[in-house]
Amino acid sequence: MVQIRSVGIIGAGQMGSGIAHVCALGGYDVLLHDVSADRIKASLAQIERNMSSQVGRGLIDEEAMKNGLARIKPAEELQQIGKADLAIEAATEDEEVKKTIFKALAPHLGPDTLLASNTSSISITRLASATDRPERFIGLHFMNPVPLMKLVEIIRGIATDAATYETAVGFAKSLGKTTANAEDFPAFIVNRILVPMINEAIYTLYEGVGTVEAIDTAMKLGANHPMGPLELGDFIGLDTVLSIMNVLYEGLADSKYRPCPLLVKYVEAGWLGRKAGRGFYDYRGDQPVPTR
């Protein structure tokens, strides 16, 4: 099995930043790449804030934070990621974007470099087919927010070999995560169950069964969920929710996975949730206010 000492991360958004955070605290040298240099800079600042918060809560000490931050280096050019032992793609949930990244990265990879995607729904087999090493390709689906959530779903493509899988499991466990093996079916385990629930909550709103506030209150107090489904959709990003529903609908050809028209409308309006300032709640004031 390959010994992983360095990790390259492609995508400095919420997920990529979180993965960089936990890898650095886990003792790995981290290269963080994004098409936007400003986004890398913003990501590094966010990681520092998040680690400071962990120090404040007694989860890590100052020394661990100092050493962790020192391990993360910006990589403004994609080819720099090829130097890493493991390259993790954490770009937007779009199959063509992900395939383009892997094709562009291929000429710069060492012969033993492992590839992983943090995709939350897209076929690992199809993504692996865009690379020169499908046997060394695997799905590592971290949960959001990565520093807090304990689970990593591990998904093998049809060509993924046993050594790659064992290395991936060992890597995830070295970060303090618990792993769950998922077969390569649309949306895997967590999002196959979770995202249709969010979609059904949106249908419940669309059909007038309850208001935003009523639906979220009902699920928080009636099902003991820490966050209501509409609030959770905003947290994930409604564009991501729609993308996963489309993967399920197209991949399984079952009408129960049809995206709610209201979800489509919100995404078309650019009301994508927290990251856009508006979704099922308006986040531009002191307190979130339902938008319907």
Are residues 208 and 166 part of one domain? no
Band (pLDDT 50/70/90 cuts) for residue 134 is very high
pLDDT at residue 2 tops 90:
no
Residue 132 lies in a domain: yes
Are residues 229 and 171 part of one domain? no
Please state, in angstroms and rounded to a whole number, the distance separating the CA atoms of residues 212 and 68.
Answer: 40
Please state, in angstroms and rounded to a whole number, the distance separating the CA atoms of residues 52 and 57.
Answer: 9
Where among 162, 182, 202 does a domain terminate?
Answer: 182
Domain hosting residue 239, numbered range: 192-290
Residue 187 lies in a domain: no
Residue 106 lies in a domain: yes
Please state, in angstroms and rounded to a whole number, the distance separating the CA atoms of residues 287 and 284.
Answer: 8
- What mean pLDDT is predicted for residues 96-108? 96
Per-residue model confidence (pLDDT) at position 278: 97
Are residues 251 and 204 part of one domain? yes
Where among 138, 161, 182 does a domain terminate?
Answer: 182
Are residues 247 and 146 part of one domain? no
pLDDT of 51-89, one tens digit each?
Answer: 999 999 999 999 999 999 999 999 999 999 999 999 999
Total domains in the chain come to: 2
- What mean pLDDT is predicted for residues 277-291? 96
Are residues 99 and 32 part of one domain? yes
pLDDT at residue 1 tops 70:
no
Per-residue model confidence (pLDDT) at position 12: 95
CATH code at 224?
1.10.1040.10
Q: Is 200 exposed, middle or buried (0-12, 13-18, 19+ CB in 10 A)?
A: middle
Residue 222 lies in a domain: yes
pLDDT at residue 231 tops 90:
yes
Where among 138, 162, 182 does a domain terminate?
Answer: 182
Burial call 90-104: b when 16+ CB within 10 Å, e when fewer: bbebebeebbebbee
Per-residue model confidence (pLDDT) at position 52: 96
Residue 1 lies in a domain: no
Are residues 200 and 285 part of one domain? yes
Are residues 99 and 38 part of one domain? yes
pLDDT at residue 291 tops 90:
yes
The tokens describing 73, both together, are 């280096």
Please state, in angstroms and rounded to a whole number, the distance separating the CA atoms of residues 57 and 237.
Answer: 27
What is the percent of the chain where pLDDT is above 70? 100
pLDDT at residue 107 tops 70:
yes
Please identify every residue annotated as catalytic: 120, 141, 153, 191
Are residues 132 and 214 part of one domain? no
Residue 47 lies in a domain: yes
Are residues 25 and 163 part of one domain? yes
Per-residue model confidence (pLDDT) at position 195: 97
Maximum Cα–Cα distance across the chain: 56
Are residues 225 and 102 part of one domain? no
Per-residue model confidence (pLDDT) at position 74: 96
- What mean pLDDT is predicted for residues 122-148? 96
- What mean pLDDT is predicted for residues 222-232? 97
CATH code at 35?
3.40.50.720
What's the pTM value of the predicted model, to 2 decimals? 0.89
Which residue type sits at 289?
Answer: V
Are residues 264 and 219 part of one domain? yes
Are residues 239 and 203 part of one domain? yes
Average pLDDT across the chain, whole number: 96
